[in-house]
């Protein structure tokens, strides 16, 4: 017997009857192997660990009207759920591009789609921010259809190592691309109270922006650096002690969600990237080309709405959505993360 032969390594056991941590949910990380488990988790209105459930797929496909032979772009590839559906519409004719800044998830998605039969002949993926769409157009030409889903993917939110959620212990990072820029922890370490207050108000409409900003900056000045997700949650909780006890827990949760959102938008320069994308969008579409954009909070939607309306007046777009389109009540019940979704669309003249 070969002494170098590897011994069988047993799976790490979890305490209790059900796995609780992201790492312990090994079945949810292998949807191709444990389909029954995945279906059960989704049927309960939850998103399996390591997965992302695509939002408003029917509404997007109905609007984009993808036909075999066309050339299209998913500007925010993520888990690849939207792209998979769009590729099916192409029927192996034409070409589809997918962009994402997240090198970790991009590699997984590329492999996942390749295993479904979507190779280089039909799909090109690039690690690039959608604000640089002009670089892709210079290589590929203009597109017949474009989708941009501005939300953070569930697999990013749920993974504690990424630091996107206040619910689990992890490094306070929040970067979509961890190879660039500074983390949220580093950002807080050098920010003033006035700047942080403005960030919380502008990026998340945080009603307690002033008191939260004051408490965070005061803690850091005392030498108590905030380096973890739970550390930030505790400081937010401390800042809201004045709220009556019967309301405090819920208000702390809401402020945590908003504060994490505001920091994420800031460290990833998301508003700047969206503005640049919207400015370059008309030159990225072929005549009659269609674009659909999913946004998840008022700041994003305002930028999309203003851009579409201005370019409609200027004759760049021949038609835009008159109002936001929302996911159905059935979808929201099935996937709670769909509830804040707003969809807008435009058609190039």
Q: Give the model's pLDDT for residue 154.
A: 60
Regarding beta strands 317-320 and 342-348, do their DSSP bridges make them parallel or antiparallel, or are they unpaired? antiparallel
Quote the mean pLDDT of the chain.
86
pLDDT band at 6 (very low <50, low <70, confident <90, very high): very low
118 and 149 fall within a common domain:
yes
- Number of structural domains the chain divides into: 2
Query: In Å, how far are 71, 102, 312 from 129, measured between CA atoms?
Result: 19, 9, 25
Query: Which uninterrupted H or E stretch holds 104?
Result: helix 103-115
pLDDT above 90 (res 136) = yes
142 in Cβ contact with 284 (< 8 Å): yes
pLDDT above 80 (res 22) = no
Boundaries of domain holding 142: 57-154+271-281+288-348
Asked if residue 5 belongs to a domain, the reply is: no
CATH number at residue 233: 1.10.150
pLDDT above 80 (res 51) = no
Extract the tokens encoding 315. Answer: 């004759």
Asked if residue 232 belongs to a domain, the reply is: yes
pLDDT above 50 (res 55) = yes
Q: Give the model's pLDDT for residue 156.
A: 65
102 and 251 fall within a common domain:
no
Asked if residue 50 belongs to a domain, the reply is: no
Q: Give the model's pLDDT for residue 28.
A: 46
Residue 341 three-state SS: coil
Asked if residue 239 belongs to a domain, the reply is: yes
End-to-end CA distance of the chain: 72
226-241 mean pLDDT = 95
pLDDT above 80 (res 326) = yes
150 and 276 fall within a common domain:
yes
pLDDT above 90 (res 178) = no
Q: Give the model's pLDDT for residue 16.
A: 54
Query: Strands across the sheet with 285-295, in order?
Result: 123-127, 95-100, 71-74, 143-149, 285-295, 342-348, 317-320
96-125 mean pLDDT = 92
CATH number at residue 326: 3.40.50.150
pTM of the model: 0.81
136 and 185 fall within a common domain:
no
pLDDT above 60 (res 337) = yes
pLDDT digits (tens, 9 = 90+) for 262-319: 999 999 999 999 999 999 999 999 999 999 999 988 889 999 999 999 999 999 999 9
pLDDT band at 168 (very low <50, low <70, confident <90, very high): confident
Asked if residue 234 belongs to a domain, the reply is: yes
């Amino acid at each position: 017997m070969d002494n170098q032969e590897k011994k069988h390594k047993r799976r790490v056991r979890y305490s209790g009857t059900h796995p609780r941590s992201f790492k312990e949910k090994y079945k949810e990380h292998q949807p191709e192997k444990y389909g029954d488990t995945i279906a059960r988790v989704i049927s309960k209105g939850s998103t399996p660990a390591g997965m992302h459930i695509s939002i408003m797929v029917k509404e997007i496909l109905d609007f984009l009207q993808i036909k075999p032979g066309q050339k299209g772009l998913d500007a925010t590839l993520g888990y690849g759920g939207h792209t998979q559906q769009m590729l099916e519409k192409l029927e192996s004719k034409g070409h589809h591009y997918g962009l994402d800044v997240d090198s970790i998830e991009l590699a997984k998605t590329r492999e996942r789609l390749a295993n479904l039969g979507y190779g280089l002949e039909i799909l090109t993926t690039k690690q690039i921010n959608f604000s640089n769409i002009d670089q892709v157009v210079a290589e590929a030409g203009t597109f017949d259809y474009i989708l941009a889903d501005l939300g953070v993917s569930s697999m990013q939110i749920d993974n504690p190592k990424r630091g996107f959620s206040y619910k689990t212990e992890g490094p306070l990072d929040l970067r979509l691309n961890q190879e660039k820029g500074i983390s949220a922890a580093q950002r807080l370490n050098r920010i003033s109270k006035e700047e942080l207050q403005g960030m919380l108000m502008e990026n998340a409409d945080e009603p307690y922006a002033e008191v939260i900003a004051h408490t965070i900056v005061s803690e850091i000045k005392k030498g108590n650096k905030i380096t973890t997700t739970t550390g930030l949650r505790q400081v937010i909780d401390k800042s809201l002690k004045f709220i009556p006890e019967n309301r405090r827990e819920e208000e702390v949760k809401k402020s945590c969600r908003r504060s994490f959102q505001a920091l994420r938008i800031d460290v990833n320069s998301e508003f700047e990237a969206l503005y640049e994308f919207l400015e370059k969008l008309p030159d990225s579409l072929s005549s009659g080309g269609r674009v659909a954009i999913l946004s998840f909070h008022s700041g994003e939607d305002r930028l999309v709405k203003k851009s579409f309306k201005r370019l409609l007046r200027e004759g760049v777009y021949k038609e835009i959505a008159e109002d936001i389109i929302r996911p159905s009540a059935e979808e929201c019940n099935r996937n709670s993360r769909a509830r804040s979704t707003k969809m807008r669309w435009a058609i190039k003249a």
